[in-house]
Amino acid sequence: MRIASCFWLEWLLVLISASGAASAQACPPDGASNAALITFLRTAKERNSSDICVVKAIKQLQYAHSQKAVDVLIKYLDFRRDRISEEVETGSNSEVYPAINSLFAIGKSALPALAFVVGDSGFTRTAQDNAVRAIMIINRDHPADGISLLMREAQTSEGSARKALFSQAAILALRWCLGKDQNECESVLSDTNNPSRLLRRKNCLEVLEPNSARAAEHI
């Protein structure tokens, strides 16, 4: 009798433990508070949370116009949703890197953090490229402002490495300057006060050429 009791006690403990683990992995519920979403994303990578849950939390944070939301979203700029998580993506939110859409929705208040990513070599190249993309999408109505932001950072940053990161980002960002915006973007880039003043469009295209496949994917 005592052996049977011990068996059921151990089994109960296993069930409680499993239940706790499942709860830790649960997706944030619809209507979860911004604080809950931010807390979830801060620890999601360590807890190996499912991509579906991560995408859901990232999408919901697009309505959180706060610095805390921006700070956690930039850490997911290189998070690429898998095909399974497509079931929670619809319409214009089908972005492969969902953090881009959420940061775009937050708007210009996210620009300083995005610029920080571009100039910080501690982030992955994918995160930096996506930060540039987000900057240009936020400035979609006047893309020259995005180029200007990047060149201003190149001018004011300390250290040659950071300056080079911003200058290169400004050159690559020309891909978002189309039609009537192209001349204005190039004018900002080649301004005599800019460190890249000697660059011409031909040179820019030569820089872009090795990355044409990646550029095509992001456009």
User: Among 86-100, 178-192, 202-216, where is mean pLDDT lowest?
Assistant: 202-216
Asked if 38 contacts 57 with a C-beta cutoff of 8 angstroms, the reply is no
* Segment 96-116 mean pLDDT: 96
* Segment 162-181 mean pLDDT: 94
CA torsion through residues 107, 111, 113, 117, sign: positive
In this prediction, residue 81 carries a pLDDT of 83
What's the pTM? 0.74
Q: In the 8-state DSSP scheme, what is residue 28?
A: P
Asked if 112 contacts 69 with a C-beta cutoff of 8 angstroms, the reply is no
How far apart (Å, rounded) are the C-alpha atoms in residues 165 and 151? Answer: 10
How far apart (Å, rounded) are the C-alpha atoms in residues 56 and 61? Answer: 9
The number of CA neighbours under 13 Å toward the Cβ of 23 is 6
Residue 135 pLDDT exceeds 80: yes
The number of CA neighbours under 13 Å toward the Cβ of 105 is 19
- Domain ranges in the chain? 26-106, 107-219
Confidence class for position 30, pLDDT limits 50, 70, 90: confident
